[in-house]
Amino acid sequence: MAGTTIELQPRIVIKCTMAGNTGEIQDVDGWVDTSRYRVATAISEVDMVDNCELDLEGCDVMGGAFMTHAAFTQALAAACVITLNRNAPYGAPEHLSNLMRWKIVASGNWTASFRITLVLK
């Protein structure tokens, strides 16, 4: 698969039993700037999502509203591959934004294990 490959998130396991925790958002230093690219292929390997939802999100400006490209509520037997395109209408899930990150939405005790790779062209 040609293009620039970057790990949006190397494989990670997060387990949370903290009372009142409603999830986690990827640290801003881990967000990927995709503004120079026309097409992105996001490959999500989701080993576990227990009592939570893993979202792959994009946004065009820092501080702006994020749109959800993909949401995972259960583990995947095979990697999920989605293609995002700059030319897709703004607001559509397949629209490639300028920034990409992951977010976990949860309630109660939760566990997530995943890895997300981006191929950018």
Please give the residue ranges that form the binding site for another protein (CB under 8 A).
4, 6, 12-19, 21, 24, 27-34, 36-37, 62, 99, 118, 120
The least CB distance from residue 89 to another protein, in Å, is: 24
* Distance from the first to the final alpha carbon of the chain: 10
Q: CB nearer to another protein: give 29 or 78.
A: 29
Q: Give the C-alpha separation, 39 to 23, whole Å.
A: 29
The least CB distance from residue 93 to another protein, in Å, is: 21
CA distances from 42 to 16, 54, 96 (A): 26, 14, 11
Q: CB nearer to another protein: give 18 or 78.
A: 18
Biggest alpha carbon–alpha carbon distance for the chain:
44
Q: CB nearer to another protein: give 1 or 78.
A: 1
Q: Give the C-alpha separation, 3 to 41, whole Å.
A: 10
Q: CB nearer to another protein: give 70 or 118.
A: 118
